[in-house]
Amino acid sequence: MLTANRASEDDERARMEGLLRGARDGSQGALDQLVGELTPMLWHVARATGLRQLDAEDVVQTAWLNLVSHLDEIHTPAALKSWLTTTTRREAWRMRAAYRKTVPADHDWLTAIPDLAADSEERVIVKDEQRALWAALRELPPRCQELLRIVAFVPRPDYDVVAQALGMPRGSVGPTRGRCLEKLRSALYGEGAVR
C-alpha cells in the first residue's frame, strides 16, 4: 500500500514537473492544465483570509499573472505550489488592507458612545487642581522641585542619570523622591486643592 502511494506521488510529481517545464517553454496547454488543477487550492487560500467571492477571484487571477512573469524562477512542483500559495496569501492580505481603508465605518454605533471630553466645568476644576499643584511644587526645596519634575515627565527615569544630574548618590534618589512626594502631599492638603 505504501509503495503504491509513493509510486502515485512520484507519478504526480513527474506529471507536474512536465507541466511546469511545458509552461516555462511557452506551452499554453500546460499552463491551462496547471491553472485548472491548482486554482481550487488558491481559491481556498484566498477565501480563508475572509475575502468576498469577487475579491478572491481577483486575487487568484493576480497570483496566476504574477506566476507567468516569474515562471523561469520556479523549478520544482513543490516550489510552484509554495510560491503560488504565498503569492495568493500576500495578495489577499494586501486587498483586505486596501478594502479596510476604503470602506467607511457604520456611523450609527458612534451615537451610543458617550462623549468623554471634559465639559467646561470639569476643565475649570482640572485647571484649578493644576494651578494648586504647581503652587505647592514651588513651595518645595529646589532639589525636590527638580527631582519631581524629572519623575513626572519621564516615564521610567534612569536613576543613574537622575543622580548625576542632581549631584546625589544613586541609592538616595528613591528615598528622596518619596520624601519629596510626601512634602508635596502635605503642601496640597494644606492648600485644600486635592482630597
Cβ contact 168:176 at 8 Å: yes
Question: Global pTM?
Answer: 0.48
Q: How far apart are CA 159 and CA 40, in angstroms?
A: 61
Q: How far apart are CA 195 and CA 188, in angstroms?
A: 9
> Is the pLDDT higher at 1 or at 20?
20
**Fold topology of 120-191:** Arc Repressor Mutant, subunit A (1.10.10)
For cell 462623549, the residue is 115
Is the predicted pLDDT of residue 105 greater than 80, yes or no?
Answer: no
pLDDT in the model for residue 64: 92
- Give the confidence band of 108 by pLDDT, cuts at 50, 70, 90: low
- Close Cβ partners of 13 (under 8 Å, ≥ 6 residues apart): 77
Q: What is the 3-state secondary structure (H, E, C) of 152-168?
A: HHCCCCCHHHHHHHHCC
pLDDT in the model for residue 59: 93
Task: Taking each helix axis as running N to C, give the angle between helix 53-70 and helix 28-48, from 0 to 180 degrees, rounded to the nearest 10.
Answer: 140
Question: Where exactly are the structural domains of the chain?
Answer: 8-102, 120-191
Is the predicted pLDDT of residue 63 greater than 90, yes or no?
Answer: yes
pLDDT in the model for residue 194: 45
Q: How far apart are CA 195 and CA 190, in angstroms?
A: 10
Per-residue pLDDT of 110-156, as tens digits, reads 566 666 666 778 888 888 888 988 889 899 998 898 888 888 777 77
The verdict on domain 8-102 having CATH code 1.10.1740.10 is yes
- Give the confidence band of 102 by pLDDT, cuts at 50, 70, 90: low
